[in-house]
Structure 1
Amino acid sequence: MNVPRVGDTSELVVCEELTRTRIVQFAAASGELSPVHIDEEAAQALGHPTVMGHGMMTLAMAARVITCWFGADALRTLSARFTAPVWPGDCLSSRAVVTSVETVGALTLVGLALEATNGRGIRVLAGQAGVAIDRSQGA
């Protein structure tokens, strides 16, 4: 793998269309069964147009841009804040930008800014990640 440079960017459509089924599957797998995610009437009673996707589901999907770029084993840190809800029908895209590159022994440590947007261009997630590339492997 080539060592990335500050400013290098990768973008990926991580979900063509978020479905209610996917939201319910994530709820079951994660144990996060809040009615706002799985019960249409409860979500509407709280003022939402419909059920909303989980923040952690959004983060997991957004992180794919990083794992596709560097591999899942390279990911060391990941944090985010959720800036807008995701809804059934949303298309989600993710973008990672290299913000720092540091060499420590055989490792290249890469800092990344992470962002996810919906199909309307609204940012739904902003975060940071760190990856470690072991240059001694596969060289």
Structure 2
Amino acid sequence: MSDAELEQRTFTVARADLVRYAAASGDQNPIHQDESVATSVGLPGVIAHGMYTMALAARAVADWFPGSEVVSLGCKFTNPVVVPAEGGVEIEVGGEVKGTAEGLTTVALTVTCEGQKVLGMPKAVLRGAGA
């Protein structure tokens, strides 16, 4: 399987998700929960944890390839995901299988929020993803 586009996944992120992620991860940096702290350091508002955004990309990969082993998952954090006080913001994850070699499948990901890429060069490598 190569150059196969995968069905886009959409995840809604709300402030309550950031509170739960902070508790689970131990990352209690106030830029992820306190508007005044976030804006005081030059951010446009409360932002999602970069690792939480990456975890949503991993969740999409798991949805596309159930039972496969993720050998590697990587990206650069390029733009913040600003999460409003009320409601939430949508993260969209797209993927394209770039090829399979030596039992490993490479998937290029596109992760956006409000039309802007938020992860740079996100890529997953899987074992057991099938051909």
Does residue 80 of structure 1 match 2:75? yes
Q: TM-score by structure 1 length? A: 0.81
Q: State the shift of 1:81 in Å.
A: 0.8
Higher RCO structure, 1 or 2 (CA under 8 Å, sep 6+): 2
2:105–2:129 contact (8 Å) kept in structure 1: no
Q: Give the fraction of aligned pairs with identical amino acids, expressed as a percent.
A: 33
TM-score normalized by structure 2?
Answer: 0.86
CA distance in 2, matches of 1:91, 1:72: 26
Question: Does 2:115 match 1:121?
Answer: yes
Instruction: Give the Cα separation in 2 of the matches to 1:28 and 1:95.
Output: 28
- For 2:96, give the aligned amino acid: V
Size of the alignment, in residue pairs? 125
1:132 counterpart residue number? 127
Query: Is residue 32 of structure 1 aligned with residue 62 of structure 2?
Result: no
8 Å CA contact 1:14–1:61 kept in 2: the answer is: no
Aligned letter for 1:13? R
- Tell me which residue corresponds to 2:10: 14
Q: Which ranges in structure 1 are unaligned for 5 or more consecutive residues?
A: none
Equivalent of 1:70 in 53, 65, 68: 65
Task: Specify the structure having the higher radius of gyration (Cα).
Answer: 1
- The amino acid of 2:97's aligned partner reads V
Greater strand share, 1 or 2? Answer: 2
Tell me the SS of whatever aligns to 1:90: strand
Once superposed, which parts of structure 1, at least 4 consecutive aligned residues long, lie more than 4 Å away?
A: none
Q: Give the deviation of 1:40 after TM superposition.
A: 1.5
